Chains A and B, each alone.
Chain A
Amino acid sequence: MSTERDILDDAFAALREETRASSDAAATATRARLLLAATQRRRRTVLLRVLVPIAAVLAVSSAWAAANGRWPTFSSGPSETHETTRVPHRATDVPPVVAPVASSAPVAFASVAPSVAPRPSASEAIDREEMLYRAGHEAQFVTHDFGGALAAWDVYLAKHPRGRFAPEARYNRAIALLRLGRRDEARTVLRPFADGNTGGYRQKEAKELLDALDGD
């Protein structure tokens, strides 16, 4: 017969034991995501460190020029170009790509820091979704850590089951499963693609893969 105090101690011990095991795959995916985010943050910081002083100098120069009636002229014509207002601004140094290349040869995608939108959005939610996708992509196509990639796709799809990159994530997940030798699970994931349930995306490739799997 357990006392109430024992129940609480038992419950604490139970939670301690249940949470003791760690997932190597999740750890790998989080590591990739973390380092990618840290790199992006550093780039933004460096960019700000360059832009802010430039903007400050230009602002002070403009104010001084306005106060002294001495706008700089950059052409011989009467119309003056206010160069000071054109502060160079790039939100990213990555060339825009319309959609992620979810294939086993993602040269265009992996050769630069992956960018999957024509212009990165200021929305934090979109940044986070993109970072989750990139973590999986880096694990699968850069470091070839298929266990980590699988965990990353699971994280992405759990958070964004109908996200912008959900079809790509599902397909890549199937490939990761294949690479891990988990053929039956890969078949299950590939079937909707082969049946055309994803609007034709990767239908041909999925059919070929299933044929190859069934032929073994």
Chain B
Amino acid sequence: MEGGEPDLAERLRAGARAALAEAYDLHHDALRTFARRLVGDPLEAEDLVHETFLALPRAMRSFRGDAPLRTFLVGIAANLARHHVRAASRRRALHARSSEGEATPVPTPEGNTQRRELAEALVRALDELPFEQRVAIVLCEIEEMTSAEAARITGAPEATVRTRIFHAKKKLREILSTRGVR
């Protein structure tokens, strides 16, 4: 709906409630997916989605239309995500501590279980990264954006984004290896 985006952008700037509903209907799915990947907790991710769209009308003052609205939304979410990531990370750490010593079931050979466990292991490893590296990894390696797109979203130079990814991947490999993830 590229042709309609300038009109939607104007209506969002004007604070039209219907425009906010329309923006939500168009982009909530993609934003929710990004939020879940970044935060690693569905409840906190849902709060982040809510907060992002709530911030959208005011944020539209700086929207120039040189990138899709969806990209702009991801940028807002990335900026707002810090305390959600922190809250989710604390919850995971607490859960991990309270689960220590509990017998864990032997994983079944089912692909979904292995995939879920690997995803969970990665989310816990992402908790060890500085926030900026986490964002860079999620944008480039999981959302599969280019470093140029990630740079535009984060407001950092492209070289900085690539450096963050380099250091983040190195650290993630070490963490996964230490934890015996195969």
Residues of A at the B interface (CB closer than 8 Å) are 2, 4-5, 7-8, 10-12, 14-20, 22-23, 26-27, 30-31, 33-35, 37-39, 41-42, 155, 158-159
Contacts and interface: CB of A to CB of B under 8 A. Distances in A.
B33 interface: yes
Contact of A30 (B28, B115, B125): B28
B46 to A, nearest CB: 6
Where chain B touches its partner, the secondary structure class is: helix
B53 A34 contact: yes
Contacts of B119: 11, 14-15, 17-19
A159 B42 CA distance: 12
B159 interface: no
B13 interface: no
B118 A38 contact: no
B35 to A, nearest CB: 9
Nearest to A26: B46
Interface in B89-117: 115-116
Interface string B39-56: 000110010011001100
A155 B181 contact: no
A33 B20 CA distance: 12
B182 A38 contact: no
Contacts of A19: 33, 36-37, 119
B118 A39 contact: no
A79 B123 CA distance: 70
Contacts of A27: 28-29, 32
